[in-house]
Amino acid sequence: MTELSGWAFTAVAVLGVLSVAAGIAVFVVDSMARATFALLASFLAVAGVLLALDLVYLAVVTALMMTIEMAVMAVFMIMFMMNPAGLMPMTMVHNAKGSAVIGAATFVVLAVGIWTIDWPTRNPPRPDDSTRQLGEAIMGSHMLVMLVIGISLFATILAGTVLATARGRYDRFGPDLDADRPDDPVPGGFRR
Amino acid sequence: MTAELVLQILLTVAVALVGVGLFGALSQQSIVMVMMGLELVLNGVLLAGGAAWYFLTPELPDAQVLVVVALVVMAVEMAMGFAVTVAIYRARQVDMVDMATDLRG
């Protein structure tokens, strides 16, 4: 296995601790907005670890995607949550003890596996450029993954739009979907 | 410090993220907080995938492709989660999972 250089090891250690600490903070802080930014800190710490592991492209994608995603999430927090600013301390949990036991048990089982397995000690050749390796894979040998990703994202766009639309088919064609003409507030649209 | 030890520490950090995320996804009442728990689980997958690539199979792209898939799963989860949140809030003013138990067995 390849050893990490000194600075990379330091970065990985600090960012690893930071990612878990920020992850715990997500469910500890009162304010939903603070929870969102704690989650962002956790993602950015993991992106930093990926950067130290030579995965430059994936690190940048993670950092950019998660920054925007958390910004969107903060907006939704303020839209939907009853206590977005955390001005009055309140806990909104159910079955906290059972959930903590399940979370801790999962951690223990996986950690026992990690620390008891004999990991292979070999020295495989390293690629010069990890981004090139990934790009050639998803455009060549692993193209099926890229095809499935593309179709999934397209289906997500359609499904998200359909779900978020205020008026559905029952609003347009009646409860039994048997209206001859759709009841639309503006002219135009499907089946007119 | 040997590379094997660093790999084990990194994977332990990753499963700690998975454990914390699982706790959050199971215990939180607000729909958006449940989604944050799921995101934290996927964050652990990102870290484990990156560590596996660097220390175990840097000559193969598979672990990197797994990280890409985890990123896409995150994006899809967020998009669909927010769409469902908007839809159920619009229909019934529901913003907590305890108020949406129609499918409970």
Give me A36's structure tokens: 């969102």
User: Nearest CA to A40 among A11, A58, A19?
Assistant: A19
pLDDT of A173:
84
Instruction: Name the residue facing B64 among A42, A115, A130 (closest C-beta).
Output: A130
Question: Is the distance from CB of B70 to CB of B49 less than 8 angstroms?
Answer: yes
pLDDT of A129:
93
How many Cβ atoms from other residues are within 10 Å of residue A66's Cβ? 25
pLDDT of B86:
86
What chain B holds in terms of domains, given with CATH numbers, is 3-97 (1.10.287.3510)
Give the 3-state DSSP-derived string for A120-155, with helices as H, strands as E and coil as C.
CCCCCCCCCCHHHHHHHHHCCCCHHHHHHHHHHHHH
Q: What is the pLDDT along chain A (192 residues), one digit of tens a residue?
A: 677 888 888 999 999 999 999 999 999 888 888 889 999 999 999 999 999 999 999 999 999 999 999 998 888 877 776 666 666 666 778 888 999 999 999 999 999 999 999 998 878 899 999 999 999 999 999 999 999 999 999 999 999 988 888 787 888 888 888 888 888 787 766 655
Give the DSSP per-residue string, B30-71.
BHHHHHHHHHHHHHHHHHHHHHHHHHT-TTSSHHHHHHHHHH
pTM of the model: 0.90
pLDDT of A163:
86
- Contacts (Cβ under 8 Å, ≥6 apart) of B71: A58, A61, A62, A65, B46
What percentage of chain B exceeds 70 in pLDDT? 99
pLDDT of A1:
66
Task: Give the chain B residue nearest A64 (alpha carbons).
Answer: B71
DSSP 8-state class, residue A176: T
Is the pLDDT assigned to residue B30 strictly greater than 70?
yes
pLDDT band at residue B95 using 50, 70 and 90 as cut-offs: confident
Give residues 2 to 61 of B whose Cβ lies within 8 Å of A: 2-4, 6-13, 15-24, 26-33, 35-37, 39-40, 43, 46-47, 50-51, 53-59, 61
Q: Write down the domain spans for chain A.
A: 1-87, 129-192
Torsion of CA A107, A110, A112, A116, to 10 degrees: -160
